[in-house]
Amino acid sequence: MKIVVLDGYAANPGDLSWDEVKSLGECVIYDRTAPDELLERAAGAEIVLTNKVEISAVTMEALPELKYIGVMATGYNIVDVAAAKERGVIVTNIPAYSTNSVAQMVFAHILNITQQVQYHSEKVRQGKWTHCKDFCFWDTPLVELQGKKIGIVGLGHTGYATACIALGFGMEVYAYTSKPFYKLPLGINKMSLLDELFSECDVISLNCPLTDTTREMVNAKRLKLMKPTAILINTGRGQLVNEQDLADALNNGTIYAAGLDVLSQEPPQAGHPLLTARNCYITPHIAWASTAARERLMQILVKNLKGYIEGNVINNVAR
């Protein structure tokens, strides 16, 4: 059985082991695969593992021996799942492996923005504290989270973990979710209208999947509903946000700040409007990438493969 890993570097740049995957068959691992290399590299493979390399219906048709596509991530929009189902190709994903790491990044951004940690650290390095007349200095607002309202869009694993951290800070937690209010955990309040969530909350955290209904859910109209002191956090998908509208809102002072771990194009092109937007803090899609999270990813990846080989498929999203 031939196994091909198309883009293994992001999940395992060398600090983890592929040995368990290699033990399951003839295994070829590529760090990265360009679109024009895909068919040649995947030829003859029964199992293809991908992180961000897209696999379309046309690709599947050109790979008649393909029986299993393992997405090395939670989101699986890179695979034409409908075409896979039609062809009887199993598609698995890796759910919930990065829940705690992503929730941690949500608050890394929130704390950086409210306490201006990076900014003041840089000022200390520049000598401002050394030459200060007082024992301390700050020249930006410092915001306490106690009593602030956080609105969480999507109350899945990551949204819930984010809510728990927020409760620990004494924040009021509101969620826009399909779950009925009586099923929400204690301390989490349901808001039925997304516009209401955006207008009333001090912090908005996007923790929902990308779908046709959530694409560009954050746009100029919705940003105008937010408080001028509000903070937007996106650790979900870049396409949840109209990025030009967000850049305009930041530059115009419509909202205070944004903390983003994802963009619609990754890596972004030079000149992307958010790279220079006022009070916009961007990390390079690393919320998922803690060592602990990637170890879990590899463990679940192996479980998925063993389940398929043993005829007990798990985490199949092409049912």
Q: Which two tokens stand for residue 237?
A: 């998908």
Q: Please pick, among 157, 237, 294, 296, the residue that the annotation labels catalytic.
A: 237
Residue 54 half-sphere exposure toward CB, CA atoms < 13 A: 8
Q: Which two tokens stand for residue 18?
A: 């592929």
Q: Which residue has the tokens 């949500």?
A: 106
Q: Is 266 a catalytic residue?
A: yes
159 strand-pairing partners? none
Alpha helix stretches (DSSP H) within 16-156: 19-22, 38-42, 57-61, 81-87, 99-115, 117-125
CA distances from 135 to 112, 128, 132, 140, 141 (A): 22, 11, 7, 17, 18
Alpha-carbon distance of 235 to 218, in angstroms, equals 13
Q: Please pick, among 41, 215, 272, 285, the residue that the annotation labels catalytic.
A: 285
Provide the 8-state DSSP code for 269.
P
Q: Is 32 a catalytic residue?
A: no
CA 88 to chain centre: 29
Host H or E run for residue 245 = helix 243-252
The answer to whether the beta carbons of residues 303 and 314 sit under 8 Å apart is yes
Q: Is 319 a catalytic residue?
A: no
Q: Please pick, among 26, 122, 266, 278, the residue that the annotation labels catalytic.
A: 266
Paired sense of beta strands 149-153 and 203-206, if any: parallel
Alpha-carbon distance of 49 to 1, in angstroms, equals 13
Host H or E run for residue 292 = helix 291-309
Catalytic sites, residue numbers: 237, 266, 285
